[in-house]
Amino acid sequence: MELRDVYMHGRRYTWSNERDSPTLVRNDRFLCISDWDTSQPHCLLRCLATTVSDHCPLFLDCSPQHAGPKRFHFERFWIKLDGFYAAEADAWAGVDDPDPFRRVYLRLKLTARRLQSWGARTTGHVTLQLMIARELTVGNMP
């Protein structure tokens, strides 16, 4: 039937004998045929924690995955560009909160947002530029 094992995220094993030197085995699986696998590209198989059993229950989530907010990626070359330190200082000074923990959190959050915006204005879309440069380099090779 050409069944295939669905990849399990987050864990390698589903059973343990729970000893000091444990035996770890993956004896719980979710199998599918290739047609199902291609028709369900967003499915995610996870192993859940349990305190009731030595087996970990499997959870297959087939709901569409929504992309979360875009993560901040600091580019090392930014510190060499004009305006970096001014953008960072402006963002850091833009928050005043009496709670010191919240103040640090808000400052880091605002700094990330401002640097991301500053980086996009200053250098443009770096990933796209790198892809274009690679394509041009590969295209010009003998």
User: pLDDT (tens digit, 9 = 90+) per residue, 62-103?
Assistant: 886 666 677 788 888 888 888 999 999 999 998 888 999 999
Most confident of 25-39, 44-58, 121-135: 25-39
User: pLDDT (tens digit, 9 = 90+) per residue, 102-122?
Assistant: 999 999 999 999 998 888 888
pTM beyond 0.75: the answer is no
Q: At 140, is the pLDDT very low, low, confident or very high (cuts 50, 70, 90)?
A: low
pLDDT > 70 in the chain, percent: 90
Residue 67: predicted pLDDT: 65
Residue 126: predicted pLDDT: 67
Give one DSSP letter per residue of 25-58, joined into a string. Answer: E-----EE-HHHHHH-TT-EEEEPP-SS-SBPPE
The residue that leads in pLDDT, 131 or 3, is 3
